[in-house]
Chains A and B, each alone.
Chain A
Amino acid sequence: DAKTTQPPSMDCAEGRAANLPCNHSTISGNEYVYWYRQIHSQGPQYIIHGLKNNETNEMASLIITEDRKSSTLILPHATLRDTAVYYCIVYGSSNTGKLIFGQGTTLQVK
């Protein structure tokens, strides 16, 4: 399974963009990059996913590098409610339905 590497913590000023990086240098061609977040004591929540093109939805944007070895989750205007642990996960059909959550990045919006 492809592994991901994320910084353990980041800070962001309220109203500014939060850019959360993720390295996944061993990603396979058919594996997607998923992002989830977990607000304190709640279950994780799906944010966005992508294969190789940049993706945007109402919550965030996902930028994947051309070589697909890294990606960045962008929260365009962070609010205090975005304070959470953010998980970057690589998933493909060979994972047989299993998502493997790492330690994630704790984002503190101040």
Chain B
Amino acid sequence: DAGITQSPRHKVTETGTPVTLRCHQTENHRYMYWYRQDPGHGLRLIHYSYGVKDTDKGEVSDGYSVSRSKTEDFLLTLESATSSQTSVYFCAISDVSGGHNEQFFGPGTRLTVL
């Protein structure tokens, strides 16, 4: 399995509190991604990074920010969590090259915002 870890794996928080999820990789892959998955919506891209300090928005980026200060870590921050951000969050990594984009996914973080 690709070396991807996510922390925490489970978190319960209250509306209005800041939350940071961490994705850590040991594969030295250039691209890193954050997705959320909700019933009836499938997997949706929040933000992604194509290098250190290089990030871009995905399909559902409102309410989220990201940072990547080193290759191995990609942080997802909810500045002020809302109940609509209750979801399962997956991190993924990839070495994108031309038309090749095999992504490896982490185990997921289950976030509940009360």
Question: Which residues of A are interface residues toward B (Cβ below 8 A)?
Answer: 30-32, 34, 36, 38, 41-46, 49, 51, 87, 91-93, 95-104
Contacts and interface: CB of A to CB of B under 8 A. Distances in A.
Nearest to B49: A97
B107 A43 contact: yes
B42 A30 contact: no
Nearest to B97: A93
A46 B94 CA distance: 11
Contacts of B50: 96-97
Interface of B: 31, 33, 35, 42-45, 48, 50, 56, 58-59, 88, 90, 92, 94, 96, 98-108
Given A100-B59, A101-B42, A104-B42, 19 more contacts: A30-B99, A31-B99, A41-B88, A42-B105, A42-B107, A43-B107, A44-B43, A44-B105, A45-B105, A46-B103, A49-B100, A87-B43, A91-B101, A96-B50, A97-B31, A97-B50, A99-B45, A101-B43, A101-B44
Contacts of B44: 101
B45 A100 contact: yes
Task: Give the interface SS of chain B, mostly helix, strand, loop or mixed.
Answer: strand
Contacts of A45: 105
A7 B35 CA distance: 23
Contacts of A46: 102-104
B101 A97 contact: yes
Contacts of B103: 36, 44, 46, 99
Contacts of B101: 34, 91, 95, 97, 99
Nearest to A30: B99
Contact of B96 (A41, A97, A102): A97
